[in-house]
Structures are given as structure tokens and as C-alpha cells.
Amino acid sequence: MIKSYSIAARAVLALSAALAFSGAAVAKDKVFLSMSYIGNDWQGEAASMQRAMASHPSNKDKIDFEVQVAGPNAQKQIQQINAMVQAGAKAIVIYPISPTALNQAVKAACDKGVHVFAYDAEITEPCAHNVHIDQLLAGKVAAEWLVKAMGGKGNVVYLTGVPGTSTDTQRTKASMEVFAKYPDVKVVAQGVGMWSQAVARTEMTKILASHPWDKVDGMLVQVGCYTMFSMQDEAGIPDAKKKPCAGEGANGHRIQMLPVSNKEVEGANGTYRPMGAPSFSYSSPPVSGAYALKLAIQALGGKKFPHDVIVPLPQVTNDTVKLCKEGSWKEMKEGCNVFQPSVVTNPGWFADVFNPETPEVALNAALTGQAEK
């Protein structure tokens, strides 16, 4: 009788092991993405790369991934986070509209065992994790480059990002501190750019009504240098006399930075062409969202992370801009940082899709939401 029971028990254990091994008895963890403002190319690209990370073979059997959009409304994002927790979220990845407004909802999520990771912008609640560049450094180096390009004097136009986000607040603070050190540098006009090429054009058009091109010596535009050079082109300013612009890493912006003599660019048209445009291109890489998701998945497996995970700040000048021939992850690892217009047809698309920690996603992920094979 005892022997018979042992055989039966072993059979049950064997069946349980087989089911576990096949995955039939293993439930996926629910992971949510909470997005705030989405009215620009960066946010769409970051979301595509997160979808690709979630669908990668290393992750697709571990998580169920769902994307929700709150818009630029802190209260709606709070409600969204609360609903995610009630729906059984094990991890939430967030682009926070505010560094502080979500704290109570985030703390409540953490108290229920939910891992919370923010990307690009920050959450100050200690239980959350932030994956981002040094935004103060970004604002500082961009302003320093512009001051140097203008010879330490002149009139500056400054266009911000999305107001209220830690990203915009920190960049603006650092840039203005640099400008304040130079009495001959004047910020003569400011506008709210919303990290959008279209909004940058609207704001600059307003500014030019009172500050025409001959009264502007340089521009610091969080997103929109491509538009600034395009507008100068449309105004008849030749390539050799275009005013310098420092700003984020749109692909069109970096193509314009390439020498006019560059013959390797395929698909160039209109102002989406090499101009030798005097520029500095930094970037908060949209791949940071996919990296945050990867870390969240690792946290579900028990790995620990600090409050802030700092992503290296890409910095590209006219001397270091380098065309990608194929756009592979390996080629980007070797230093290329701008893509053919024939491949990336939208000049406002962001070029920094490489992170050495995320070989699961690259150009194809940013363009189509498909993971690397």
C-alpha cells in the first residue's frame, strides 16, 4: 500500500513538473505602460521600442504588456495608475507628466508590491526607479556649445519642451544658468516647443515677427533644430551663413549637420539634406523606455536597482556626426548616429535608438515596433 502511494505521488509530481516545463501552469505577469503627453515623434518612437522589447523572445512568455495614454493630465495619470494596480499589475513603466504629482499613487502601487519604473522624466517618490540621462548636463552642454559658437555674444532664441516635466525644468534651469554667465549673451525670445517640430515652427514664426533672422544669432531648441535650419533655408539664408542651433537629436537635424559635400546620403530632399549646418545635437534616447521595461522585467525576477539609473548622454557635433550605412545594432555600437533619409523618411524621427544594454531592440524596433531577431 505504501509502495503504491509513492508511485502515484511520483506520477503527480512528474505531471506537475511537465506542465510547469511546458509553460501551461505558468501565468504571465501583467506589465503596463502609462504614457502622458504623446504629441511628438519621441513619445511614439519610445512606445514602439517598448512594444518591441515586450515581444522579444526573451520576454514575450514572461509578461502581458498593455499601453495606456493619460495625456498631459496628472489627475488622469493618477487614476490610470490606480486602475492598473487594481487590474493586477506587477510592474508599471511610466512617462510621468510631473515629478511629484504622481507620488501618492506610485507609493500606493509600491506598497502592493508593484515595481514602478519611469523613463526620461522623473518621479521623486523614493520607491520608484528613474531611467534617464543627466538632464541638467544636457541643458548645460547645449548652452555652452551655443555660446562658444556665437563667440560669447549675441541674441538667443530659446524653445522649451513640455512644461511641468522634470526633463524640461532641469534642462531650462541649466541652460539659463550658463547664459547668465555671459553678459553679452541675451535671451531675446522664448517659446513653448512641446518637443515637437510642428510646434517649434509655429513658435518660431511668432518670434520672427518681432525678432527677424538678422536679429537672431543662435538658437537653443530642445526639439526643433531641423525646423530652425529649414526655416532659414526657406528665408533664403545660404548654408554657409546659417545661424547655429543646439538641440535634440532628430534624424533630419543630424542629416543637416553632415558636410554639403557628403555624397553617401540616399533619399535626401528639400531641407532634409546635408547643409554643414553649425549645430550640437544631444539626446535623451527614446530607447530609454525599452531599457526601463527591461529593468522592470528583471525586477520581477528579483533583481534590485537604485532609485536613479543614469543613461549616457549622446553628444554629436559636426565633427562626430556619422552616417549609418545599414542601421544595424552592431553598426550603431561602432559609432554611427544618423540614418539614411531613404530609410527614415520622417526628419523629425529621433536618431538615438542604440543602448549597449538593449540588443533586443534597434532601428527596426523604433520604426515598426518589431524586436531584433
- Counting Cα atoms < 13 Å in the Cβ hemisphere of 83 gives 13
Cα–Cα distance measured from residue 213 to residue 232, given in angstroms and rounded to the nearest whole number: 8
Our measurement of the distance from residue 125's CA atom to the centroid of its chain's CA atoms, rounded to an integer in Å, reads 21
Asked whether residue 316 carries a pLDDT value surpassing 60, the answer given is yes
Closest CA to 201 of 175, 223, 218, 179: 223
pLDDT for res 26: 67
pLDDT band for position 14 (cuts 50, 70, 90): very low
Say what the pLDDT of residue 72 is.
87
pLDDT at 6: 39
Please, which residues have CB within 8 angstroms of residue 67's CB and are 6 or more apart in sequence?
Answer: 32, 33, 35, 47, 50, 51
Mean pLDDT (whole number) for 129-133? 98
206's grid cell: 511668432
In tens, the pLDDT along 175-190 reads 999 999 999 999 999 9
Residue with cell 487594481: 86
Q: What is the mean pLDDT of the chain?
A: 93
Judged by phi (left if over 0) then psi (alpha if -120 to 50, else beta), residue 367 lies in alpha
pTM over 0.95: no
What DSSP element (H or E) covers 331?
A: helix 329-333
Q: What average pLDDT score do residues 95-106 get?
A: 96
Rg (CA), the chain: 24
Asked whether 293 and 117 are in contact (CB, 8 A), the reply is yes
